[in-house]
Amino acid sequence: MNYNYLTIERAPHRLDVTLNNPPVNILTGAVMLELLDLLKTNADDRSLRALVIWGSGKAWSAGADVSEHLPGQFDRMLDIFGELCELVRSYPAPTVAAVDGLCLGGGCEVAVMCDFVLASERAKFGQPEVKVGVLPPIACAHFPQKIGLANTLEIVLTGEVYTAAEAQRLNMVHKMLPVEGFAEAVNAFVGKFISHSGPVLQITKKAALVGHDRPADRRAREVDYLYRSELMNTRDAVEGLNAFLAKRSAEWKDE
């Protein structure tokens, strides 16, 4: 598929995608469908160790297309948006939203569904939907567990726009980074786990999502099953253990 609204950059074990729908990267249905296609196309890549989403220009994304919220259109928009956010939330490889600008509405929801939100000091976040008479569905559904109920209510009921520092206080932002050298700082963060085995990273993330999503009486049992049935059936798990015992560097095969 040729992408009109995304810029793609591939590197070993890493995929970078930049939202490119000037001037503020509105998430129209067309943009969301392209992002969905890209994510689905690469979801089965066991060598993928990081997916990083950037925004071009002054905004990561200023949100969804307001016109697509109107009667006759919102059903399709909600279906596409819900599928996109769930795929981002449960994506096999670790996901990073690298935010250096405005991140509002649906854009904020997509960003926070990533595993990590890395924000420059000039980034701004918010869910202003209440100001136009609607609600942010993904924020209401997922933010309470991810960032806390009180923080969620403050964000969705006030509709305010927050600085990166304020967003970090509200648990929307994992790390705040300087504007100068922002891309380099993002790359340094991603580099902390991109040197590991792709399958091991992906199974570890899957296990953490089990710990996050399942009822307490199922968490340990299901993670134990993942360890026995998936992790220990990878070549890289055995290689990593043998390399440690032999006091040598592991040679990952992403298998």
- The DSSP code for 70 is S
Q: What is the per-residue pLDDT for 9?
A: 96
- Helices and strands in the chain: count of H runs, count of E runs: 10, 10
Q: Each residue of 198-235: pLDDT tens digit?
A: 999 999 999 999 999 999 889 999 999 999 999 999 99
Are 218 and 95 part of one and the same domain?
no
Collapsed DSSP state (helix, strand, coil) of residue 61: strand
Residues in Cβ contact with 234 at an 8 Å cutoff, skipping those fewer than 6 apart:
197, 199, 200, 203, 255
121-136 tens-digit pLDDT: 999 999 999 999 999 9
Contact 17, 38 (CB under 8 A): yes
Is residue 156 situated within a structural domain?
A: yes
Residue 66: per-residue pLDDT: 77
Mark whether 102 and 206 lie in a shared domain.
Answer: no
The answer as to whether 251 is a domain residue is no
> 227 is in which domain, residue-wise?
198-245
Q: Which residues of the chain have pLDDT under 70?
A: 69
27 & 82 share domain: yes
For the domain that residue 78 is a member of, what is the CATH number? 3.90.226.10
User: How many structural domains are present in the chain?
Assistant: 2
Residue 27 counted as domain residue: yes
CA 49 to chain CA centroid, Å, is 13
Residue at token pair 């992403």: 254
Residues 67 and 133 in one domain: yes
